[in-house]
């Protein structure tokens, strides 16, 4: 519970900073899909989720931009490992996204942030869930309105594709 409160507080502070600077900044919304994968001992767990991003550009020049984002995702399916159904129930966090503009159509970026995830395992009528909050990092590329990125959080890989509105 303490980690959830810490994560919620950090996300709220970053979101408030983003909103306070949004009067003169570009606010953007992205929606898409993610593939989540991790290894448990020698077994690989992989499933899909829906993803949403709300971000703002705090400071930008012709070649570089500072962005802050709130990211949230939900698992859409589960995977079996050792006869147990495992599903990522939720994923959310806040991130800093330094962005290099290559031209009017392409941007490269890094992402570092603090994320919280909840996983549920169930078998034979029993279920248990666990959550974790960790620092994560990744890279990505924007092509106008489409963004492709990779994020690594707590031994878990997130491949994400989003569309910007």
Burial class (CB in 10 A: 0-12, 13-18, 19+), 83: exposed
In percent, the amount of the chain with pLDDT more than 90 equals 67
Helices (H), the chain: 2-20
pLDDT for 59-96, tens place per residue? 889 999 999 999 999 999 988 888 889 898 999 999 99
pLDDT for 123-137, tens place per residue? 988 999 999 999 999
Query: In whole angstroms, how far apart are CA 36 and each of 97, 155, 161, 165?
Result: 20, 11, 12, 24
Global pTM reads 0.82
> Any idea which architecture 2-164 has in CATH?
Beta Barrel (2.40)
């Amino acid at each position: 519970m303490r980690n959830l409160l810490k994560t919620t507080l950090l996300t709220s502070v970053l979101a408030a900073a983003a909103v306070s600077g949004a009067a003169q900044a570009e606010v953007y919304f992205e929606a898409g899909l993610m593939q989540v994968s991790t290894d448990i001992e020698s077994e690989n767990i992989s499933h899909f989720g829906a993803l949403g991003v709300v971000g703002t550009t705090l400071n930008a020049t012709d070649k570089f931009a500072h962005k802050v984002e709130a990211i949230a995702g939900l698992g859409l399916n589960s995977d079996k490992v050792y006869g147990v159904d495992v599903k990522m129930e939720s994923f959310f966090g806040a991130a800093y996204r330094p962005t290099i503009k290559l031209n009017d159509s392409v941007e490269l970026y890094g992402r570092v942030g603090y994320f919280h995830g909840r996983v549920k395992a169930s078998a034979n009528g029993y279920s248990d869930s666990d959550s974790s909050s960790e620092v994560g990092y990744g890279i990505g590329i924007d092509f106008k309105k489409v963004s492709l990125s990779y994020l690594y959080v707590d031994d878990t890989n997130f491949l994400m594709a989003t569309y910007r509105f």
